[in-house]
């Protein structure tokens, strides 16, 4: 008997990966890091940096993280991911002027 799987955005994931939220963990997805080294996309690293960057802001982290899928392209740079997510976070945040 094979392990249960879920298809999401035309990609098949193990049930365990899906339940853990590791929807982007896939061997074929690569990024180019700041040292110009190609490595596997690591959603945990992105999640960690997002939490730190959005600390104190009222941003829906699940919604923000879901945007990774729409900006991903093969061999995207981590700088481009960061810039795109910062822009998305800004649009999700409302700034109120003090009196």
Structure token digits, residue 23 = 């929807």
CB 17 within 8 A of CB 26: no
DSSP, collapsed to helix, strand or coil, labels residue 43 as: helix
Q: pLDDT tens across 8-51, in order?
A: 665 555 556 556 665 554 455 888 888 888 888 888 888 888 88
Label residue 2 by pLDDT band (50, 70, 90). Answer: low
How high is the pLDDT of residue 58? 83
> Which pLDDT value is given to residue 8?
62
| Integer Cα distance of 8 and 23 in angstroms | 8
Query: Could you count the other beta carbons within 10 Å of the beta carbon of residue 61?
Result: 14
User: In the prediction, which pLDDT does 1 show?
Assistant: 52
pTM over 0.85: no
* 97 vs 85: which has the higher pLDDT: 85
pLDDT 10s digits, 61-87: 888 888 888 888 888 998 999 889 888
Burial-class residue 53 by CB neighbours within 10 Å (0-12, 13-18, 19+).
middle
Q: H or E segment at 30?
A: strand 30-32
DSSP string computed for 44-86? HHHHHHHHHHTTTS---HHHHHHHHHHH--TTEEHHHHHHHHH
């Amino acid at each position: 008997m094979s392990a249960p799987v879920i298809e999401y955005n035309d990609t098949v994931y193990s049930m365990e990966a899906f339940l853990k939220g590791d929807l982007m963990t896939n061997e074929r997805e690569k990024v180019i890091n700041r040292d110009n080294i190609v490595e596997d996309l690591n959603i945990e690293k992105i999640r960690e940096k997002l939490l730190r960057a959005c600390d104190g802001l009222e941003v829906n982290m699940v919604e923000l993280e879901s945007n990774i899928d729409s900006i991903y392209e093969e061999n995207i740079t981590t700088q481009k991911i960061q810039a795109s997510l910062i822009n998305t976070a800004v649009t999700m945040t409302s700034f109120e002027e003090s009196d």
